[in-house]
């Protein structure tokens, strides 16, 4: 699925500002946005919290309290 692409719409002036900033750092605006989004979704804290809650719930079940 990695090669399936989606089109998003962004304000033109913001894109121009970002393109000016990304010079030397990223090849394109798409590269910058993909990098940022990948970094942001990498933090799976909520999923880990849920998994850890399930572990405690299972422990309580094993002890006969749920």
Residues sharing a CB contact under 8 Å with residue 3, sequence separation 6 or more, in sequence order: none
In whole angstroms, how close is the CB of 33 to other proteins at the nearest point? 12
- The answer to whether residue 10 forms part of the interface with other proteins (CB under 8 A) is no
- The answer to whether residue 5 forms part of the interface with other proteins (CB under 8 A) is no
Phi-psi domain of 24 (left: phi exceeds 0; alpha: psi -120 through 50; beta: other) = left
In whole angstroms, how close is the CB of 5 to other proteins at the nearest point? 19
For residue 41, report the phi and psi dihedrals to the nearest 5 degrees: -80, -10
For binding to other proteins (CB under 8 A), which residues are involved?
24-26, 31, 35-36, 39-40, 42-46, 48-50, 52-53, 55-57, 59-60, 63, 65
């Amino acid at each position: 699925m990695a090669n399936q692409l989606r089109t998003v719409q962004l304000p033109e002036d913001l894109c121009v500002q970002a393109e000016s900033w990304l010079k030397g750092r990223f090849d394109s605006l798409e590269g910058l946005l993909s990098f940022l989004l990948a970094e942001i979704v990498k933090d799976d804290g909520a999923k880990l919290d849920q998994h850890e809650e399930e572990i405690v719930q299972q422990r309580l079940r094993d002890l006969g309290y749920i």
